[in-house]
Amino acid sequence: MNTSGVAGLDHTAQETNVWLRAVAEQLPFEDRHHAYMALRAMLHALRDRLPPEVAVHLGAQLPTLVRGVYYEGWHMAGKPVKDRSVQEFADHVLQALPPRFPMDPLTVARGVFVKLMDHLPASLKTLRSLPRK
């Protein structure tokens, strides 16, 4: 479907819709906006916990519109943040979700991460090999 008349923009819109549909089916959400909020919260939490060079490598693998969401509000200084526990990660996801979000942040993080694994297997090999503290 051509909506903008610009092939590159139409393609990235289609790719982004594939990602949102995948997240909505994984979690599951009927509301595509919930899928967007979950994807955004998880990507920001992940991005802020990666060394900047790895965060940039991951960002380069994302569809253009998703990449824009990923980099939204990012400041490289002070990254990665030092918290490392699952609960601290879930707390960061929770802070990025709207009030009364219909799913707990740990389930959101796990569901979105599963979809990242499906869509970015080569990039995530880098993430899996990071040293754990």
Residue 133 lies in a domain: no
Question: Model confidence at 92, in pLDDT bands (50, 70, 90)?
Answer: very high
Give how many domains the chain has, as a whole number: 1
What mean pLDDT, rounded, does the chain reach? Answer: 88
| CA 38 to each of CA 23, 86, 94: distance values in angstroms, whole numbers, following the listed order | 8, 17, 10
Residue 60 lies in a domain: yes
Question: Model confidence at 126, in pLDDT bands (50, 70, 90)?
Answer: low
Cα dihedral 72→98→58→51 (10° resolution): 80
Question: Model confidence at 128, in pLDDT bands (50, 70, 90)?
Answer: low
CATH number of the domain where residue 16 is located: 1.10.490.110
Q: Of the candidates 72, 13, 18, which has an alpha carbon nearest to the alpha carbon of residue 45?
A: 72
Residue 2 lies in a domain: no
Rounded CA separation 70/3 (Å)? 24
Residue 1 lies in a domain: no
- For residues 43-76, one letter each, b for 16 or more C-beta atoms within 10 angstroms of the residue's C-beta and e for the rest, the string is bbbbbbbbeeebbeebbebbbebbbebbeeeeee
* Token reading at 37: 């909020």
- Domain hosting 41: range is 7-128
- pLDDT one-digit tens code per residue, 34-48: 999 999 999 999 999
Within its chain, how far is the Cα of 90 from the centroid? 13
